[in-house]
Each structure stands twice: as structure tokens, then as C-alpha cells.
Amino acid sequence: MSQLLQTDYLVIGSGIAGLSFALHAAEHGEVLIVTKRKADDGSTAWAQGGIAAVLDPTDTLDAHIEDTLTVGDGLCHKDIVSLVVGDGPQAVRELCERWGVQFDRAPSGDLDLAREGGHSARRVAHAKDTTGREIERALLEAAQRNPRIRILADHMAVDLLTLAKYGGPDACFGAYVMCRQTQQVLAILARATVLSTGGAGKVYLYTSNPDVATADGVAMAYRAGAQLANMEFIQFHPTCLYHPEAKSFLISEALRGEGGVLRLQSGESFMERYHPMKSLAPRDVVARAIDAELKRSGADYVSLDMTHLPPDFLVERFPAIFAQCMHFGIDMRQRGIPVVPAAHYSCGGVVTDSYGRTTVRNLFAIGETAMTGLHGACRLASNSLLEGVVFGRRAAETAKQAQALFPPTVIPWQSGNAQDPDEAVVVTQNWDEVRRLMWNYVGIVRTDRRLERARRRIELIREEIRDYYWNFKITPDLLELRNVALAAHLIIECAARRKESRGLHFNTDHPHKDPLYATDTVLQKDSGPSPR
């Protein structure tokens, strides 16, 4: 039997989007945040570069909007871009003035603004090279001080509770949640349920994301019948530290923003052959360029050269990156940093409106879990933290109108005749196979044949996982594998339907943009084909 808890707002995930929602929602209700490990273990705390907003009097909202639309390659929703960019300055001010985020300041006292790839101006507020960690610290401390917010760490959502399973309307009223330590499953009821679980980086073999990025929110939303879109647009960060012990440590785009130059191992710069912005080109261009150069040369990595910049500046501006590189014997003051691309950000996700509402009543999705239309086919650097803050607040404004829609009785979680797991090797083998096939077949460069091979193999793996899921008691590893495999299937399906190359999706069988595909790729469970 499962325990039963009830709250006004159930927030699944504790990054910038989830915490922003919680802090605003607590003004009009009780909030329960469920986070599957420690509260600060998500991608927010790993974000290095910063948060983009128009904060310089020489910059303009129109310029930020245009930069976002350009990088988004024809798929951004212009109304959402205008909304988020317009709310940006106030959102950053609120982080500072209300929640206590300490961004770096210039000697004048104004925010010290950086420039990153794809931006036409300096508009990125930062805290050295650990901006996400500083934002997470401030928001988490504010949440922990708030008596109306409760954080349930080491608890993982299993599936959403929906009235459709009770013969009622298409509405969500909470989730089944498993305690990672006891593996007991709770049923948590809520007027509004918010998915803020982050992205899908762990679907790929090489990723800059933390281990928790297993597409849990996307997978649960899809199983609950919500619309998803644009899962094919996976952003590969072009510069992750290449070292066998580094576990894809991210080398921030801010280094290129401050003048870093990408070079081959011969010392030759190469980005001028791919884009007029050279090493400051958008991420999709840089990632493909590095991938092409590595395949052409057979080299394992390229180098990001910062040696022409003042040594003291590098240590002061990038202390965490400098320290991590030195840990591995790499002095960025004297030699280039070896880098390779790695899966970094999911531009697609659960379809929402301008208030974070999904197509399932009382279910919201915010942050990287959502597809708001802001990023289009490729995300502009440092727009993700901005999106999380803006939509966290907007979702909280609307969620207060949600009415409780609970069934007369709630079916408790039951394991039935499921046995204790006795073959953990099934989980580890399938996990490894999913990530390798996605990296090899559905990575930076794709082909129709690779996608078809991936489709066939992922379905066999998912069949094994389904069999294991129903016959053995669930574990955290099994739940994550189930979600990763489903997300892989959704990425493959979206990629196969897009018969063109646009933004982050590059297919050598369809190397050009096609106006017929200048629209979102929408998927929904049991809804049949949706080619565009």
C-alpha cells in the first residue's frame, strides 16, 4: 500500500524553474517540491555562462529578440520570444533584489555583462563561471526559509496521476513518487502539478549534464497523454573538456565570448571556414564544425586557445574552469584546452502555452522540460536560465486558478506479484546500449539509414525494459532507464519526420532547409502520425 500526501502545488524538480515557481506559488498556497537526489543536484547548478537580458543602455530588446530568432533558425514562436526577452530585465533584477543572487559587478557598481556566441551585444549577467550554482544557492535558501515550501529530497516521480485512468477528463491530480532509500511509493495529490525535471542529456553517451538529466518529465508527460514537440533538436555543446577522468566537464561558451579561439592540434584556426562570427558562431555551427574537423583529421579533440589573453584575467574571470583544468594538468594560461562536443540541452519537450500550461489540465511544464517556443531549432546561449525564471513566475500566476480535480478514491501503488530484481545486468546493459546507439546514430550529424537503425534497435530495447518493468519491483535505476529509452524513441521519431536540415538537426540525406518543415514536430501518445 502507498501513503497519501496532499498539497496545493506539487513541483517535480528543484532547479531554477521549479524553485522560481515554488517561491511565487507559496504566496497563495502550500508547495511540495520533489527532487530525486539532493535539491541542488540538477543542471541549474552546473550552468556556467550566465543569464541573458537587456541590461545595458546601449543594448535593445529588439536586438535580443533578433539574435534569438536568428539562432532559432525559423522555428521560434515570435510572441514567446518577445514575451521572455521583454520580461528579462525585471527577472534579473528580481533575482538580485528579492532573492539575493550575487552577480559580478563592474567597478561602477553596474552588472558586469559578458557576450556569448550568437549574441550581438554584452548582455549576459554572470557570477564568475559558476552562475548557475549562485542562482541555485540563492533560490534554494529562499525556499528553505519559506514555511509554505517543503522539499522532499531523494524522492523520484514514477508516473503522473490522471483522471483519464479513472474514466474522467484529461486532467492531472498529482503523481506517484518513490522514496529512493526505502523504495516505498507515495501518492501525492495536488491541485496543480509542475514538471521541472530538466533535460535529456543522459540519453547520450557523452553529455555535459549531471546524472539526474534522464528526461523524467518528458517521459511522464508523454505517458499521460500530453503533447510533445521538437525532440529532434538536441543542442550539443561544442566545448567540453577532453580528458578520460573529466566526465565531460563543460568549458563555458563565455571563454569564446572573451576571445577564445578554436584551433586544430596543428595550431591552425578553422572556424573562419564555417561562419563569419568565427569562434563566436552559434553552438550548432561550432559543434558541427568540430565534428567535421575531427572526422576529417582523425584527431580526438580540438583546442580552445586562451593564451593570448592576460593570465590574471583568466584566473579571475574563470576560477572554477581554471581550477578544474589545473586539476587535470592543463594550464589554460600556457596551452589550449582540449575540447570535444557533448549533448548539452534539449530545445524540445512538453508543449506549453505562454503560462506553462500543457495540453493536460492542471499539468504545467517549465524550464528545459518544456517546449515553449522560445528556442526554436537552436537555443541562444544563456536564454535557458532566463526562460526558467520567467516561466516559473508566469506558471505560478496561473496555477493559483487551478481547481482540485480528485477522484473519489485514489488507487494505491501496488507491486502485485512483481519479484525482487535479480538481474541488474539487464538494466546496465540496456542503459549502455541506448546511450551508445543514440550517440552513434542520432548525434550531431544524422542520416535516414542511421535513424532507421536506431528506431529498430530502440524498440527492441524498450520491449525488454517493459517486460522487466512489469515483472520486477521498480528501482530508481529501472525508472531512469525506462524514461531514457522512451525519450530516445521520441527523439528518433521526431528526427525521422523532419526531412530537412535546420538548426540542431542536420541530416546529410536532406542537407538543406525546406519551407514545408518550418513548423514544430508534434507527438502525442496514441494520436497517430503527425508529420509536421
* Cα 89 to Cα 84: distance, rounded to the nearest angstrom: 10
Read off the pLDDT band of 364 (50, 70, 90): very high
- CB 494, CB 521: distance < 8 Å: yes
Residue-wise pLDDT tens digits, 45-80? 888 889 999 999 999 999 999 999 999 999 999 999
pLDDT of residue 40: 85
Q: Give the C-alpha distances (Å, rounded to integers) separating 322 from 46, 304, 305, 344, 360.
A: 15, 13, 13, 21, 46
Residue-wise pLDDT tens digits, 354-363? 999 999 999 9
Evaluate if residue 530 carries a pLDDT over 60: no
Q: What is the mean pLDDT of residues 160-165?
A: 93
Q: What is the mean pLDDT of residues 425-449?
A: 92
Q: Which three cell numbers stand for residue 333?
A: 594560461
Residue with cell 530537412: 500
Residue-wise pLDDT tens digits, 488-503? 999 999 999 999 999 9
Read off the pLDDT band of 206 (50, 70, 90): confident
DSSP label of 510: B
Q: Which three cell numbers stand for residue 75?
A: 522555428
pLDDT of residue 471: 81
Evaluate if residue 353 carries a pLDDT over 90: yes
pLDDT of residue 2: 53
Q: What is the mean pLDDT of residues 101-130?
A: 92
* Cα 385 to Cα 210: distance, rounded to the nearest angstrom: 16
Residue-wise pLDDT tens digits, 235-273? 998 999 998 888 778 898 889 989 999 999 999 999 999
* Cα 196 to Cα 104: distance, rounded to the nearest angstrom: 27
Task: Specify the pTM.
Answer: 0.91
pLDDT of residue 422: 67
- CB 333, CB 307: distance < 8 Å: yes
Read off the pLDDT band of 468 (50, 70, 90): confident
pLDDT of residue 185: 94
Q: Give the C-alpha distances (Å, rounded to integers) separating 496 from 165, 234, 419, 449, 490.
A: 31, 14, 37, 10, 10
Give the three-class secondary structure for 302.
strand
Q: Which three cell numbers stand for residue 20?
A: 522560481
Read off the pLDDT band of 419 (50, 70, 90): confident
pLDDT of residue 416: 67
Estimate to the nearest angstrom the gap between the alpha carbon of 283 and the chain centroid.
15
Evaluate if residue 472 carries a pLDDT over 90: no
* Cα 513 to Cα 502: distance, rounded to the nearest angstrom: 6
Residue-wise pLDDT tens digits, 267-320? 999 999 999 999 988 888 899 999 889 888 989 899 999 999 999 999 999 999
Read off the pLDDT band of 1 (50, 70, 90): very low
Of how many residues is the chain composed?
A: 532
The residue from 115, 123, 256, 283 that is catalytic is 283
Extract the runs of DSSP E, i.e. beta strands, from 182-318.
Answer: 185-195, 228-229, 234-241, 261-263, 302-305
Burial class (CB in 10 A: 0-12, 13-18, 19+), 308: exposed
Extract the runs of DSSP E, i.e. beta strands, from 182-285.
Answer: 185-195, 228-229, 234-241, 261-263
* Cα 272 to Cα 168: distance, rounded to the nearest angstrom: 58
* Cα 113 to Cα 89: distance, rounded to the nearest angstrom: 13
Burial class (CB in 10 A: 0-12, 13-18, 19+), 329: exposed
Q: Which three cell numbers stand for residue 347?
A: 530545445
* Cα 54 to Cα 121: distance, rounded to the nearest angstrom: 9
pLDDT of residue 532: 30
Evaluate if residue 414 carries a pLDDT over 90: no
Q: Which three cell numbers stand for residue 84?
A: 521572455
Radius of gyration of the chain (CA): 22
pLDDT of residue 425: 78
Residue-wise pLDDT tens digits, 75-97? 999 999 999 999 999 999 999 99
pLDDT of residue 423: 66
Annotated catalytic residue 283: yes
Read off the pLDDT band of 177 (50, 70, 90): very high
Q: 231: closest CA among 492, 22, 32? A: 492
* Cα 72 to Cα 376: distance, rounded to the nearest angstrom: 4
Average model confidence (pLDDT) across the chain:
93
Handedness of CA 290, 293, 296, 298 (dihedral sign): negative
pLDDT of residue 529: 43
Contacts of 457 (CB under 8 A, 6+ apart): 433, 437
Report the number of secondary-structure helices (H) and strands (E) in the chain: 13, 18
Q: What is the mean pLDDT of residues 196-215?
A: 93
